[in-house]
Amino acid sequence: MEQKKNEIKIELTPEVANGHYANLAVISHSAGEFFLDFIAVAPNMPQAKVQSRIIMTPENVKNLLFALRDNVQKYESTFGEIERKMPKNSQGNGGNDIPNPFMA
């Protein structure tokens, strides 16, 4: 007799399904958690609001990293390479005047 895999039933409420737009993510961590703050930044606005904060264990963040990498590869194989646009005077800020926290 074959056992069924454990399935998780996921509920997506209408409020959550609408999502939040973010064009900046700030990532910080402690010894036990990663904090991912997703932010919507508008041009010429001195302040930006965190739209959503996700707190994850280091193991789950690493799993997310691999899942994102896999999905980007699948996207690019279907739609072509995602080009990172950089302004002429940029030092790796991802194509806008907002500093990119992912660039070292």
Q: Is the dihedral of CA 55, 59, 61, 64 positive or negative?
A: negative
pLDDT higher than 50, residue 94: no
pTM recorded for the entire structure: 0.72
User: Nearest to residue 22, comparing CAs of 3, 46, 50?
Assistant: 50
Task: Specify the pLDDT at position 47.
Answer: 94
Task: Specify the pLDDT at position 84.
Answer: 87
- Read off the pLDDT of each residue in 15-44 and give the average, rounded to a whole number: 95
Q: DSSP states of 25-80 as a string? A: EEEEE-SS-EEEEEEE--TT-S--EEEEEEEE-HHHHHHHHHHHHHHHHHHHHHH-
pLDDT digits (tens, 9 = 90+) for 50-77: 999 999 999 999 999 999 999 999 999 9
Q: Cα(100)–Cα(84) distance, rounded to whole angstroms?
A: 12
Comparison of pLDDT for 35 and 92, the residue scoring more: 35
